[in-house]
Amino acid sequence: MSDDYNPPQDPLNILHDDHEVILVDKPSGLLSVPGKGEHLADCLIARVQAAFPMALLVHRLDRDTSGVMIFALTPHAQRHLGLQFEKRQTKKTYVARVWGEITEKTGTVDLPLIVDWPNRPKQMVDHDNGKQAVTDWRVVRAKNGESRVRLMPHTGRSHQLRVHMLAMGHPILGDPFYAEGAARDYPRLMLHSETLQFRHPDGGQGMRITAKCPF
């Protein structure tokens, strides 16, 4: 990661909070957790903990991705939510703008992924050694040389949506790792975590929290 980390200074956008959980809308360009070194100390969990000192990490979003993130406010909630993510009981929906007009309406990408060691943190498809990665996709609109898609990952691999869209020949617009040429020339990565469905740690009630897509 380069030294030109200059995260947005938007005020914390709280989508929901109660005695066990807090959900916020992470802006694009802000790390979820601190990186190595003082210059990478500003991150979403630090900002959340400034307002909610008890907040605990449950999952992450890439620096360049925006949208819904959940934090636990008790160790019980952290364990409960952590298991839901581990057992793939949570459901996430993303919105992306991708290069090119996708002709089909829906589909699934099932391509195993592994870290591309010489080019970390990039990931790549590897049928022999990769870990299973599955993404359902649905086209919302396709015109003017691009498509707006909803992405529903079944697995949570690093850069999964970015590599799966690239593998389809439709890289996500503004992606600094995987898009090239005109597809990269956007002010941000056009990927947003729109909804998160989970069971509340206190009582197990199903909840669905949405963060409006900013693009």
| Tokens describing residue 23 | 């959900």
The proportion of the chain whose per-residue pLDDT surpasses 90, expressed as a percent, equals 98
Q: Which residues contact 30 (CB under 8 A, 6 or more apart)?
A: 7, 8, 42, 43, 44, 47, 63
pLDDT beneath 50, residues of the chain: 1-2
> Which pLDDT belongs to residue 4?
84
Question: What would the two tokens of residue 158 be?
Answer: 């690093």
Catalytic residues, by residue number, are: 62
Segment 26-65, tens digit of pLDDT: 999 999 999 999 999 999 999 999 999 999 999 999 999 9
Counting every residue written for the chain, the total comes to 215
Extract the tokens encoding 109. Answer: 């990408």
**8 CB neighbour count, 10 Å cutoff:** 11
The confidence score (pLDDT) of residue 3 equals 56
Structural domains in the chain? 93-191 (3.30.2350.10)
Among 45, 32, 58, CA closest to 198: 58
